[in-house]
Chain A
Amino acid sequence: MKISYNWIKEYLDLNVSPADLAEKIERTSVEVDGVTQPSAGLKKIVVGHVLAIEMHPDSDHLHICQIDVGEDEPLQIVCGAPNIAKGQNVIVALPGSRIADNVKIKKSKMRGVPSAGMVCALQEIGFSEDVVPKDYVDGIYVLPADATPGDDVYDYLGMNDSLIDLDVTPNRGDMLSLNGTLHDLAAIYDQPVELDQPNVKETGDAIDSELTLHVDADLAPQYRMRLVKQVKIAPSPMWLQIRLWNAGYRPINNVVDITNYIMLKYGQPLHAFDYDKFDGQDVYVRTATPGEPLTTLDEGEHELTDQDIVIADSNRPIGLAGVMGGLDASITDQTKTVAIEAAVFEHDHIRKAAQRHHLHTDASQRFERGVNQAGVQDALDAAAQMMNELADGAVQTGTAVGSDNEPEPAVITITMSHINAVLGTDLTQDQVTHILESLGFTVVASGESLTVTVPIRRNDIHIPADLLEEVARIYGYDELPTTLPTGRMTMGTLTAAQKLMRATRHSLEGLGLNQAISYALTTEDKAKMFTMQASETTKLAWPMSVDHAVLRMNVITGLLDDIAYNTARKVKDVALYEQGRVFYREDGTDRPSEEEHIAGAITGTLMPAGWNQPAQAVDFFQMKGIVEAYLQDMAVNGDVSFVANADMPEMHPGRTADVLVHGHRIGFIGQIHPSIAKQFKIGATYVFELNLQAIIDMPKQENQYDLISRYPAITRDIAMLVSDETTNEEIVALIEKRGGAYLQSVKLFDVYDGVKVPKGKKSLAYTLTYQDKKGTLVDDDVNQAFDKVTKRLQDDLNAEIR
């Protein structure tokens, strides 16, 4: 809500600049989005009086105008506006002036005719098109007849005012009005404030004979109407138009403007109906019958539901309660009798109706937050009074009341010790009482206990904590001391799982992978890829886009999306890991279980090419080395093994392995299937994904000291030809099993399957290291063990020793 600095100053004697006032409001009350002065940035824009006007000889729409701008000689200005006429006072941008958007106006020629400046529309001096009176939207603006040529136009148009744009939080509905703001400022500046009291002159008959209200009080706790007869619809006076357009409202006519003005001043939305359009004298506040049609003021057509509250005559709805009036009974230039409605509608219905019909109006916004339920009659009276004063209307005697359930004010008891204990302050009872009273609250003290009666307009205050906020903000948050919690000590430590997750990240970073954080919401297709267990998908009910509609069941696809993003930007070498959750759902349950996973993806090269080393394209074994090193870092207790898996549809059937710890599958590793790579528009990519939760849950090895032998080790190399089907793992397992007591390690040092070996065979070579921790080994012992192993390799694996 934009609130006028000048308007505030009519009620409070503030000696502060608009910027300082805004700052104070922001620090004490509600957020301020900005302070603007409409005339800021404008220069040399004055009142001009049109002395003479003639058509431009070379144009069918341009006029050549002689305009008195208060100088000795009139200015000649060429103007294309259709509504310019002799005798008008208009807005003139002089040569050398600056209009909206920092545009400079210079002397020029228009189709050969000199033009010394420009006659302006309101939009051209910075007005939003939404607030320009309809008559002037497509032409220049005409100033009042008593404006003095040569004067700056700003004061005539209210442009020297400053407007403070309040961003009111949902709890502070009271701040959506001048009066509410004045109450807060009175407390902030510790000044009394005197608000206007309406004084209606009732001259007509008793209203009862002309209007009967039938109101469901659950829908509208308060519902009142007044009738004003013989109104003369006309434009509002300038001061009123200025108030409205500065607050962001378009002036329409005196009757409609008055309702908007009262809303700004009192926070009470009003609606003016054309009484003569009512079918009969009865007005109903009821729920709509499903399917009932209503055309609102904005000419929107709505099909109503039984959750909508409507204002209706005997025949049909004439307004969507608290949201927008209907077109049929709206005020027109022909309106003679106005029925003014002032009501309180149940906020939840209003909120939903505004959402349902996409009509978030200033009225609905205020009803949703709650209006001042003690001020409904005042607002109605003030409107009737203004219609009498500004539209010559005759106010009928009395108010028609359909419901009148004004709530009781909140009474809250709070103790001084509680206030100081929660705020950490040493406030005295006098200080607290003074703050609350300055807000208009009534305080009765008894010992250190305060009984506070809260005015009905502050519908956000119900409990002691609400009073604490009032005391704290008016006292000032800057005045609070700065301390840290004391009391019993607590330990701050990470859990074992949290430590392992941190260790996981550090390990993978040390191994060259960068941490990625990808989107957990993805497409249904991607959610289902690379899954490690059977699961139903979990879908959003109303996704924003199909790209982020289903919860992931794997981490890899997010990394592939990342690689695709890099690839598209010509970043070829990408090494990423991500630690995050996947979401598995069982059929028949709504809520998925969440499992921590760790995944990696590399493409291009891991070790970038340097001047002294060639780039080495990533391969399976590089990724395997990373996974092995990582699992070693995590010290999982159990043998890690890699078992070929040709059955994952998204993976290369010959380059994929399950990762097993102690025979238990915790994930997989390998190259993604070339057709998947193509689908993601990426190159050869190697990935792994592991169930991190499983790793967290596994027993871990303890570090312990192992004697380092002082005795020399003896090595023997063995090279063999074996069938292609024989795996390294089988060979190593056999050697380890049959290697004898002194075998310390088996290390593969060569694999060859090129032209020098027969088809279907491959050559592998190993170094066997023997050592005795307690003595020096003799060759004979080693030879014996080595011969034994050699024989087993020949017998069991059909190896041909070379």
Chain B
Amino acid sequence: MSLKDKLDELQKRGLDEIKKSNDLKDVNQVRVNLLGKKGPITEVLRGMRDLDAEERPKVGAFANKVRDDLTAALEGRREELERAVLNARLANEALDVTLPGTPVAKGEPHVIQQIIDQIEDLFLGMGYQVLSGPEVEEDKYNFEMMNIPKNHPARDMQDTFYITKEILMRTQTSPMQARTLEKHDFSQGPLKMISPGVVYRRDTDDPTHSHQFHQVEGLVIDKHITMADLKGTLQVLAHELFGDKFDVRLRPSYFPFTEPSVEADITCFNCGGKGCGVCKNTGWIEVLGAGMVHPNVLKMAGVDPDVYGGFAFGVGPDRFAMLKYGVDDIRNFYLNDVRFLKQFTKKG
């Protein structure tokens, strides 16, 4: 048997053994057996000494090839087995991915806060300042400078928590408008502000009344502000809060601090304007009061009503939240049942 035949034979046997090896240990044993210092390949190579000088390189090259082939086969087999081991382990590690995720602590902003933030952001974008005044107010700012003198019948419309004759819990956030108007320097630009905050009324708490609730009032004063601007601004507000498909309509109303005064209705959420029980079949829902600032309010704050004028509006975030989410009891906003609070996850 020539050396070459021996090598052929060895290669064949080697590949066969590699194929049969079942684990990494086997593979290693086969490698030692075939390629080790005492292995058959080494022995064959040793036998090359007896060959002709002419044949020696040929056989040598062939022997190297056999050794390389076997090495590669061993390596391939090893990788194959390793992959199998890994795959088996991974298969073992498989999870039921439908099990619930590990809970994390996560808090939500109050639904009223979300609405206030939304209104603030809208008006900030239109160049308004956000100003919040004191909750315990002077009668002067809450009423008198709002053109509601003592004995004015409109005081009956707002039942007030008085602390003393002159000090009260604000019934509206408009006192801040009077405070700001007094100080504003119109040579520096128009006054555009909203005042969000808590207000108080002397009411018995029930599903539709709360002695504490929220208001956001807005005020724009400049030289050329129109009622059409008011209408446009309220429309932007309605679109932001409720969506573009909501229309706004104005109706005459009465507030001592505005003239003309209007109520603004928006398209009924429930029926989209077709008419239903929620909107008393009108297709509209009353959402806010507004108007052109009464000249007396400007005069009392030291602003010349012949030069400056503008509009004011007041919205109730509590009412908005009730309408928007169908909340049937205003007290929910102040009792803070966690199951209630969690229903209003902040979007975006």
Contact = CB atoms under 8 A, between A and B. Distances in A.
A510 B106 CA distance: 6
Given A509-B106, A521-B212, A569-B337, A492 B123 contact: yes
A482 B112 contact: no
A169 B254 contact: yes
Determine the main DSSP class of B at the interface with A: mixed
Contact of A465 (B136, B161, B294): B294
Contacts of B102: 610, 612-613
Interface string B286-312: 000000101100000000000001000
Contact of B259 (A348, A466, A608): A466
B343 to A, nearest CB: 11
A239 interface: no
A469 B204 contact: no
A565 interface: yes
Contacts of A545: 204
Interface stretch (A259-267, A536-544, A729-737): A536-544
A583 interface: yes
A348 B107 contact: no
Contacts of B107: 508-515, 575, 577
A487 B222 contact: yes
A449 to B, nearest CB: 14
A31 B253 contact: yes
Contacts of B341: 514-516
Interface in B113-162: 113, 117, 120, 123-130, 134-136, 138, 151, 153-154, 156-157, 161-162
Contacts of B117: 502
B252 A30 contact: yes
Contacts of B224: 421, 486-487
Interface in B236-267: 236, 249-254, 259-263
Nearest to A626: B105
Nearest to B291: A469
A515 B259 contact: no
B48 interface: no
B49 interface: no
B127 A490 contact: yes
A424 B135 contact: no
Contacts of B250: 477-478, 480
B307 to A, nearest CB: 12
A473 B229 CA distance: 16
B192 A478 contact: no
B212 A480 contact: no
A463 B294 CA distance: 10
B36 interface: no
Contacts of B99: 611-612
Interface in A590-648: 590-592, 594, 606-613
B340 to A, nearest CB: 10
B333 interface: yes
Contact of B153 (A351, A473, A493, A513): A351
Interface in A692-743: none
A505 B113 contact: yes
A471 to B, nearest CB: 9
Contact of A512 (B105, B138, B153): B105
A505 B113 CA distance: 10
Q: Which of A28, A490, A505 has the most CB of B within 10 A?
A: A490
Nearest to B227: A423
Nearest to A168: B254
Nearest to A351: B153
Contacts of B346: 509
Contacts of B227: 422-424, 472, 480
B202 A515 contact: no
Interface stretch (B27-35, B38-46, B80-88, B164-172): B164-172
Contact of A521 (B129, B157, B211, B292): B211
A551 interface: yes
A170 interface: yes
A511 B105 contact: yes
B252 A485 contact: no
B226 interface: yes
A229 B249 CA distance: 55
Contact of B292 (A28, A465, A548): A465
B338 interface: yes
A480 B231 contact: yes
B220 interface: yes
A466 B256 CA distance: 11
A311 interface: no
Contact of A424 (B151, B189, B226): B226
A477 B154 contact: no
A571 interface: yes
Nearest to B159: A544
Interface string A290-313: 000000000000000000000000
A481 interface: yes
B108 interface: yes
Contact of B103 (A491, A538, A610): A610
Interface in A315-351: 348, 351
A489 B188 CA distance: 10
Contact of B226 (A352, A423, A495, A516): A423
Nearest to A26: B251
Given A170-B153, A477-B250, A606 B233 contact: no
Contact of A351 (B151, B260, B309, B336): B151
Contact of B106 (A30, A169, A512, A539): A512
A512 B107 CA distance: 4
Contact of B338 (A468, A472, A566): A566
A63 interface: no
A154 interface: no
Contacts of A540: 161-163, 169
A171 interface: yes
Contact of A514 (B108, B136, B335): B108
B200 interface: yes
A739 B42 CA distance: 64
Contacts of A590: 163-164, 166-167
B104 A607 contact: yes
B57 interface: no
Top 8 A-B pairs ranked by shortest CB distance?
A512-B105, A424-B228, A424-B226, A469-B260, A169-B254, A477-B250, A509-B107, A492-B124
Given A422-B227, A472-B227, A477-B249, 17 more contacts: A26-B251, A351-B151, A421-B224, A473-B260, A478-B250, A482-B228, A487-B224, A490-B129, A491-B127, A508-B107, A509-B106, A510-B106, A514-B108, A514-B110, A519-B211, A520-B198, A545-B204
28 contacts: A31-B251, A31-B253, A369-B153, A422-B309, A424-B227, A424-B229, A465-B294, A482-B232, A483-B231, A487-B224, A490-B192, A492-B125, A509-B107, A512-B104, A514-B110, A515-B113, A516-B336, A519-B334, A540-B162, A541-B162, A541-B163, A548-B211, A551-B136, A583-B135, A590-B166, A590-B167, A591-B138, A613-B103
